[in-house]
């Protein structure tokens, strides 16, 4: 049998490696997430919508560099196929050079307005970044909730299996009913369906996160599923109004509107133009006294702004833009204040609800379950009562997880309203 040389052997081993299930399951670009902050960082670096906003800001910055300079001069050449006779001789050609000069201050205002537009675009980019951070963190809370709910289901299923075994034993010895066994089986099937729905929800969330991060996302085995310690955040509305990027963007737009208004006022001032014409003269004896010397002419022009309707409309447009920005700013300030107040109220209520579940409802349900188990062991109560008592503990624990998730998401939203973000 012909031996395989070293190169062929390495190729064969590589093919086997690529064909293995583990290699196929783990893409080289897959990001295994264990920390929400890491996913936020990747999303900010790779998100395509955020990149588009960055490019738009850079485009505006380049536009600001263009509008603040003088227009290019115009160079013209006039050839005369049929000579024009002058006192100095016949003209053969003219070379003309002209330069437009806007009224002083117009170029500076154009550059200033475009610069404020670029600044507003930058703050819009920062706003999108904060929104993206909030969205990623909230979705990671959803994943944490689902994983904890699946853990509850697994524990409940284990108890149901134990109860089912006990029910089967009691049925065989003639002390139980077949209905108890069927009830336990139905309960397990319902829990399996709920687990499948939760798995689908996690897959949907991971697909959205993969789109936001522009990279395949998977959950790391050592991901933290513990709820964060939540304290009622004291929101300073005044500080929030100073730090919110949405308001900074509106402030930049307001400054742009002021620059445009000043520019509209200067449109009532005339622009200028200066030029120079060089005449090429031939040296001919006719007409008498012609010396053939070239001639030079200097010109000066004035652009008269007489279209008053257009000028008035431009000035009114800039003022209406300023009023629009002021109205949006006022509405945004009211919205921020109301959001902070609403989130703080919700957080207080959720903290109270969580405390009620942890200190009263769940302990009481567990005490009832223990009493029911004792009664079931002595034959004083039936299997259905035992199942109802265990389901009560499960349902209350499920609601506690939902409350904890809502609480953590409300804190994330409050941090966003305050203009800060722990994961950013």
pLDDT, tens digit, for every residue of 311-351?
999 999 999 999 999 999 999 999 999 999 999 999 999 99
Beta carbons within 10 angstroms of residue 31's beta carbon: 18
Instruction: Return d(Cα 382, Cα 284) in angstroms, integer.
Output: 131
Beta strands in 258-309 (DSSP E): 271-281, 295-303
- Chain-centre distance for alpha carbon 243: 18
Above 80 in pLDDT, residue 28? no
Residue 263: inside a domain, yes or no? yes
What pTM value is reported for the model?
A: 0.81
Predicted pLDDT of residue 82: 78
Inside any domain, residue 298: no
| pLDDT band at 251; cut points 50, 70, 90 | very high
> Is 7 a member of any domain?
no
Give how many domains the chain has, as a whole number: 1
**What mean pLDDT do residues 131-137 have?**
95
118 or 377, greater pLDDT:
118
CA distance 33 to 41: 11
User: The domain spanning residue 58 has which CATH number?
Assistant: 1.20.1600.10
How much is the mean pLDDT over the chain?
85
In a domain, 293, yes or no: no
Q: Summarize pLDDT for 47-61 with one digit per residue, the tens.
A: 999 999 999 999 999
Give the whole-angstrom CA distance, residue 231 versus residue 94.
82
Residue 158 lies in a domain: yes
4 in a domain, yes or no? no
Q: Within a domain: residue 262?
A: yes
Q: Is the pLDDT of residue 201 over 90?
A: yes
**3-state secondary structure at position 271:** strand
Residue tagged 């989130």 (tokens): 343
- Domain span at residue 184 reads 26-69+102-269+305-417
Domain-located, residue 219: yes
């Amino acid at each position: 049998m012909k031996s395989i040389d070293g190169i062929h052997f390495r190729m064969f081993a590589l093919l086997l490696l690529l064909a293995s299930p583990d290699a196929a399951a783990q893409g080289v670009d897959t990001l295994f997430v264990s920390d929400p902050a890491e996913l936020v960082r990747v999303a900010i670096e790779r998100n395509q919508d955020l990149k588009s906003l960055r490019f738009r800001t850079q485009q505006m910055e380049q536009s600001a560099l263009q509008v603040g300079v003088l227009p290019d001069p115009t160079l013209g050449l006039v050839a005369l196929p049929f000579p024009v006779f002058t006192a100095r001789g016949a003209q053969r050609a003219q070379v003309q050079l002209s330069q437009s000069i806007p009224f002083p201050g117009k170029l500076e205002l154009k550059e200033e307005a475009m610069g404020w537009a670029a600044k507003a675009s930058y703050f819009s980019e920062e706003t999108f970044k904060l929104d993206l951070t909030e969205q990623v963190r909230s979705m990671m809370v959803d994943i944490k909730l689902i994983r904890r709910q699946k853990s509850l289901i697994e524990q409940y299923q284990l108890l149901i299996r134990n109860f089912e075994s006990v029910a089967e034993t009691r049925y065989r010895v003639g002390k139980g009913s077949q209905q108890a066994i069927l009830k336990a089986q139905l309960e397990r099937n319902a829990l399996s369906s709920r687990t499948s729905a939760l798995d689908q929800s996690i897959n949907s969330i991971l697909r959205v996160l993969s789109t936001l991060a522009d990279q395949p996302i998977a959950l790391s085995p050592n991901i933290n599923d513990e709820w964060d310690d939540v304290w009622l955040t004291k929101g300073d509305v005044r500080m929030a109004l100073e730090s919110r990027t949405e308001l900074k963007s509106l402030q930049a737009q307001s400054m742009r509107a002021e620059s445009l208004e000043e520019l509209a006022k200067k449109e009532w001032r005339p622009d200028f133009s200066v030029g120079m014409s060089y005449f090429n003269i031939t040296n001919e004896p006719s007409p008498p006294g012609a010396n053939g010397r070239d001639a030079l002419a200097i010109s000066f022009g004035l652009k008269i702004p007489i279209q008053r309707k257009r000028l008035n409309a431009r000035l009114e447009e800039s003022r209406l833009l300023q009023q629009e920005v002021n109205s949006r700013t006022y509405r945004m300030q009211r919205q921020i204040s109301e959001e902070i107040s609403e989130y703080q109220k919700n957080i207080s209520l959720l903290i109270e609800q969580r405390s009620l579940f942890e200190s009263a409802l769940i302990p009481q349900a567990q005490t009832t379950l223990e009493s029911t188990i004792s009664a079931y062991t002595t034959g004083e109560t039936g299997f259905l009562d035992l199942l109802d008592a265990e389901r009560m503990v499960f349902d209350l624990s499920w609601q506690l997880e939902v409350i904890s998730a809502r609480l953590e998401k409300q804190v994330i939203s409050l941090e966003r309203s305050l203009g800060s973000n722990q994961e950013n």
